[in-house]
Structure 1
Amino acid sequence: MSITEYQQNMTAEYCFPDNNSSCRKEVRTGPGNIILFIFLSCIIICNVFLNLLVILSISHFKQLHTPTNLLILSLAVADLLVGLVFMPVNTMQLRDSCWYLGKMACTIVLIINYISMSASVCNMVFIAVDRYIAISDPLLYSTKVTVSKMSLCIILGWSFSLLYILIYLYFNDHLLPSQILSRCHGECILFIKSSLVTTDLVISSICPCSVILILYSIIFTLARRQAKAVRSMLNATSNRHRANVSKSSNSKAAKTLGIVVSVYLALWIPFSLCSLFTENMTSLSLVSTVLIWLISINSSVNPLIYAIFYPWFRATAKYIVTCRLFKLSPSTFH
């Protein structure tokens, strides 16, 4: 052993100094890391604040209890779990590589993280289906899609997410605390088996991306066709002003859908490609950490995309921020 290696061993810090099998403790400091932690903390705060705004708004006002808003509520709950569990835990692990909470907590955190992300994707698919039905058959939408039916779909979606994650972790040998593999004491890492990478990629990424992309492509086509029909009818009655309003409304809706598709694909496709071409990928590798954080940022962007464009959200947000929400009757909304 060289003198340099000996000095490094003497000055090395360990997660559990009294344990011979303890992992080495890596604490990241310096201006660059401080800026990174401040940035990630801001993302966490925005995630929690925006998703709580959505949850309080829809939960409090009975007028907002519509099938589409229930999906937005479910999505906000899933995204809030990402902001309350996944983001803080990963931020702490970026600053301090040690895991102090034991294997049981490691398993629970893994399950919550994957359920929240899986449920978030599942809700996005439901929203795409909901909007497709609304624009393809608007006259029968209210009879086809009801609050009770949508509630059942949401429950099934969360149940499927839980079942899928339990099966996935079981076959990946991470479901039970005794199955958690660690190179040393004080480590919580998810080692993904190469045999499960492709299966998980298809179920949790390729299929949802394909469904959303196909449905939104059809929505764009139908919206453009309906806009042309409306403009033709309005031109026949020489009502130019109403035609301009209709055109502006359809243009705004098209832009919103474009943002939805672009952000979702931009944040999920890099992780999917990396998973496809990487044989052994751990949850603490640099590339994996960056790509997973991109996915989690999607949970912070979702309330902006799905809610902030709606007038009811801007109105209810004012009541919440000014602490006037509970002074109003749940059935009163302007």
Structure 2
Amino acid sequence: MALTQKDITEHHQNTTIQYCLPDNNFSCIMEVRTGPGNKFLLIFLSCVSVCTVFLNLLVIISISHFKQLHTPTNILVLSLAVADLLVGLIVMPVKILELVDNCWHLGKTACSIFPVIIYIIVSASVGNLVFIAVDRYIAINDPLLYSTKITVFKTAVFIVVNWSCSALYNFLFYYFEGHLLQKEKLSCIGECVVAQDFSSSIADLVISFICPCCVIVFLYLKVFKVAREQAKIVNVVEHDNAHGRGVKGSKNKAAKTLGIVICVYLAFWIPYYLGSVSVESLTTTAVVWTVFSWLIYINSSVNPLIYAIFYPWFRISSKYIVTCKILESSSSRLNLFPE
């Protein structure tokens, strides 16, 4: 009997089998995960989501509020933090909700749009990293003309273009894949599955990952080569000029810190894209796919931690924000770079 099968499944998998839509004969099976391990996982991921939102809010408020941080590089960091904030605010909660009972409760329209939102965010993130690499390359390679070539206004324009192109690319990609038109026939009602064939995965891999990463790696190799050469010059020629060493050192440190952000990004993303082309077809319900997806989501939590470790200004500004001292009228002019 069906009841006996249900009891066997509950005993063996520690899950309670129900239906996503009890009144519908074509409803998907709901798997309410009740084991202690599952509860711990959901609590952990919920904490990650909250921390991701909180930490990236600190970055956004810091750069937006303190005038000393209104630089082209930090505007790019702000854009990256906005993308990371959206991951913690939108993507993570929805994915946690899916993990609770393996059902999609948000309707067909949301199922069509949600994957597009995810990939707009992640595409904008990699675009931000490309612009950060370009910014650091010009700052290190041509420091005298940096202030004229790279301005806050130009950077803001690049950011708008980046987000716009990310939105356009992903809407077109999913439109021609048929997901926006709901052409995919679901096996049952109450699931949200996005299937991507091998050729589409390869095309997306090249456009969204390989090409941008090649640009990033190439520019950063140039950056560290020039930085190493400048370090030698500083040691030999500017040993009596402490201010000169400080300026050079701050630029090199910024390049190294943002280089770490990019390396961490690649480390979290490589498994996802390798998985996307390792088999003929993968769906969003696959366990391996879920693990790889959460790796890239958690990357949004790691970036602010990198800033906290390597950027003293972030630690100082965070203290002012947490203690509500930014409500003081003169707080925006605070010196975040004490000697």
TM-score (norm 1): 0.90
Residue 317 of structure 1: aligned partner? 318
In structure 2, give the amino acid aligned to 1:228: K
Q: Which amino acid aligns with 1:291?
A: F
* Residue type at the aligned position of 1:327: E
Q: Which moved more, 1:304-313 or 1:99-108?
A: 304-313
SS of 1:230's equivalent in the other structure is helix
Q: Which amino acid aligns with 1:162?
A: A
Offset at 1:247? Answer: 9.5
Alignment partner of 1:166 out of 171, 177, 189: 171
Secondary structure of the residue that 2:193 maps to in structure 1? coil
Does 2:201 align with 1:197? Answer: yes
Contact 1:51 1:303 in 2 (8 A): yes
Question: What's the offset of the Cα at 1:326?
Answer: 1.9
Q: Does 1:184 align with 2:188?
A: yes
Q: Which residue of the partner structure matches residue 83 of structure 1?
A: 88
Post-superposition offset of 1:276: 2.1
Q: Do 1:72 and 1:307's aligned partners in 2 also have CA atoms closer than 8 Å?
A: no
Deviation, 1:54, is: 0.9
1:281 Cα shift? 0.7
Contact 1:227–1:250, Cα closer than 8 Å, also in 2: no
Give the structure 2 partner of residue 99 of structure 1: 104
Show CA shifts across 1:26-47 (max 9, x none): 1112121122112212211111
Q: In the aligned structure 1, how far is the partner of 2:154 from the partner of 2:244? A: 35
**1:57 counterpart residue number:** 62
**How far is 1:138 from its partner?**
0.5
Cα deviation, 1:117-166, whole Å, max 9, x if unaligned, reads 11111111111111111101001000000111111100000000000110
Q: Does 1:108 align with 2:113?
A: yes
Tell me how far apart the structure 2 counterparts of residues 158 and 325 of structure 1 sit (CA, whole Å): 29
Amino acid at match of 2:264: V
SS in 2 for 1:26: strand
Alpha-carbon offset, residue 329 of structure 1: 3.4
Q: Does 1:229 align with 2:230?
A: no
Matches within 5 A, 1:212-227: 212-227=216-231
Supply the distance in 2 between the matched residues of 1:275 and 1:14 (Cα, whole angstroms). Answer: 30
How has the CA–CA distance of structure 1 residues 261 and 331 changed in structure 2, closer, same or farther, with 3 Å as cutoff?
closer
Residue-by-residue CA offset, 1:207-253 (whole Å, 9 max, x unaligned):
12211111111111010000001111145x6x8x8999799768855
- Residue 266 of structure 1: aligned partner: 267
- Give, in whole Å, the separation in 2 of the partners of 1:312 and 1:247: 17
1:328–1:310 distance in 2 versus 1, CA, 3 Å = farther
Structure 2: gaps (5+ residues): 11-15
Q: Among residues 35, 49, 70, which one is paired with 1:44 in the alignment?
A: 49
- Please state whether the residue corresponding to 1:27 is helix, strand or coil: strand
Alpha-carbon distance between aligned partners in 2 of 1:3 and 1:135, rounded to the nearest angstrom:
69
Instruction: For 1:166 and 1:2, locate their aligned partners in 2 and report how far apart those are by CA, in whole Å.
Output: 43
Given that 2:198 and 2:277 are in contact with CA atoms closer than 8 Å, whether structure 1 keeps it comes out as: no
In structure 1, stretches of 5+ residues that fail to align are none
Distance 2:189 2:8 in 1: 20
Partner of 1:128: 133
- Alignment partner of 1:211 out of 211, 215, 221: 215
- Deviation at residue 190 of structure 1 after TM alignment: 1.0
1:61, CA displacement in angstroms?
2.4
Query: Which deviations, in whole Å up to 9, do the C-alpha atoms of 1:44-64 show, x marking residues without a partner?
Result: 111101100011111222332
| Counterpart-to-counterpart distance in 1, 2:251 and 2:159 | 28
1:19 aligns with 2:20: no
TM-score normalised by L of structure 2: 0.89
Match of 1:140, SS state, is helix
